[in-house]
Amino acid sequence: MALVGILTSVDGLKGYLAQSFSSMGAGTFKIRNMSLGFSLDEDEDKPQKVFRNISYLEATQFKQKFNQQYSTSLQYLGNQTATIKYDAVKTNPNIIIMGTDENYINNEGYKLAQGRNFTPLEIETGTNVVMLGYTVAKKLFGSDYDIHNKSVRIDDVKFNVIAVLDEKGSSFITTDNVAVIPINKARQLYGNANPNYIISVKGNDPENMQPVEESAILEMRNIRKLRPGEDNNFDILKSDSISGMFVEKMSYATSAGFIIGIITLIGAAIGLMNIMLVSVTERTKEIGTLKAIGANNQTIRMQFLLEAVVICQLGGLLGIILGIIAGNIVSLSAGGTFIIPWLWMLVGVSFCLVVGLISGIYPAFKASQLNPIEALRYE
């Protein structure tokens, strides 16, 4: 139970972390003007690097060339503290206004719950249309809603609602508390003297992203006019960058859980060996009777060894069931999903077999060496 329970909870938390930090979509990376800027290693000083902003001209040049082969999306963060109103209902001032294009939904892993995507004309002209995140739509319209002919006011500007994004679920990065508008409309409403843009690229094969990243870096270096030998003045943020750091740290918890499980199994082996030795003593007359009717030393050894193994396997199966329950309670309470740890179940059964053999060998050998005459008159 200790072995399977601890390792199941760790695996569940690993899955939750990986799912939470992959909210930008599978097989997707972003080109930004700043690095991640933190590390989980206390001894590793990793300050955030901030480079020159990515201009609209650079972003559009990159998309024109790269979008021919890979889905490329431009993103402009308009406001992170916006308020959206619908009739008398108003949201809290915590809505993220994202200006973007037709590829945003695909690259970020969204699906449409209702409505349609932006048209090229709406993006080009900066039409007042909006796609609302699931949380925003539910707050404004209630649970049972229809966006037909509905309009809202974002920072006192009227927008027609053309879609609602499907729910992604809560995570470390809130993705449902968003309103998506055409990028040119965001530039009009939330422009500043030195705007910055983020480029999102989605590869065709999520399992083989390295060539896509290398091509994107080369293209961006050309656009930013970097000479050979100069460091990149932009950063590549992959969807699994943050989760990878957390999962790496979780490996220490896996090792600790494994060691704790081994210690408990060693204690169990000692306890079982003592029980089997007591059993040999209590069943001395039985052993003598078996030898008297023809049982040899090998038969006696096998009998006691099998008993130890069966006891361990029965206890092991019960421990595995209790461990899965306990581990998933921890995982689910932390926001993870229910998992069945097939690997750790196999490890647990294997260890129980080893413990049964180790704890049963000496008692079985001791039982097989009893003198049948002395054993028969033991009581």
Cα–Cα dist 8/309, whole Å: 24
The answer to whether residue 14 is domain-embedded is no
- The answer to whether residue 150 sits within a structural domain is yes
Q: Containing domain of residue 204, as a range?
A: 23-239
Residue 71 inside a domain? The answer is yes
- Reduced to 3 states (helix: H, G, I; strand: E, B; else coil), residue 240 is coil
Q: Do 249 and 235 sit in the same domain of this protein?
A: no
Residue 39, SS3 per DSSP: coil
How does residue 199 score in pLDDT terms, banded at 50, 70 and 90? very high
How much is the average pLDDT of 160-184? 82
Q: Quick one: pLDDT band at residue 37, thresholds 50, 70, 90?
A: low
Judgement on whether residues 212 and 285 belong to the same structural domain of the protein = no
- In a 3-state reduction of DSSP, which class is residue 201? strand
Query: CA dist 288 to 284, 305, 307, 363, Å?
Result: 6, 17, 18, 15
Asked which of 220, 239, 258 is the last residue of a domain, the reply is 239
Q: What is the pTM of this model?
A: 0.64
Per the listing, tokens 């581990």 go with 327
| Comparison of pLDDT for 27 and 214, the residue scoring more | 214
**Residues 77, 98 contacting (CB under 8 angstroms):** yes
Residue 21: is its pLDDT beyond 60?
no
- Average of per-residue pLDDT across 42-62: 82
> In the prediction, which pLDDT does 240 show?
61
- pLDDT tens for each residue of 133-157: 999 999 999 888 889 889 999 989 9
Which of 178, 207, 239 delimits the end of a domain?
239
pLDDT classification of 46: cutoffs 50, 70, 90: low
Name the region of 149 (left: φ>0; alpha: ψ -120 to 50; beta: rest): left
Q: 151 and 41, same structural domain? A: yes
Q: What is the DSSP string of 124-141?
A: HHT-SEEEE-HHHHHHHH
| Average of per-residue pLDDT across 339-350 | 82
Query: Residue 175: which of 247, 107, 238, 85 has the closest Cα?
Result: 107
Residue 353 has what DSSP assignment?
H
Task: Give the Cβ contact number of residue 292 at 10 Å.
Answer: 12
In the predicted model, is pLDDT for residue 173 greater than 70? no
Query: What local confidence, expressed as pLDDT, does residue 378 receive?
Result: 60
Taking Cα atoms as reference points, which of 63, 27, 64, 30 lies closest to residue 235?
A: 30
Give mean pLDDT, residues 285-294.
82
* N- to C-terminal Cα separation, the chain: 39
Residue 90 and residue 205 share a domain? yes
What domain count does the chain have?
2
The last residue of one of the domains, among 239, 262, 289, is 239
Q: Are residues 183 and 49 in the same domain?
A: yes
Instruction: Note the pLDDT of residue 345.
Output: 83
- State pLDDT tens for residues 212-254: 999 999 999 999 999 998 999 999 887 665 556 666 666 777 7
What is the structure's pLDDT at 365? 82
**Can you list the alpha helix ranges (DSSP code H) found in 297-341?**
297-333
* Arithmetic mean of pLDDT, 116-132: 95
Whether 128 has a pLDDT exceeding 90, the answer reads yes
pLDDT band at 362 (very low <50, low <70, confident <90, very high): confident
For residues 250 and 165, the model is more confident at 165
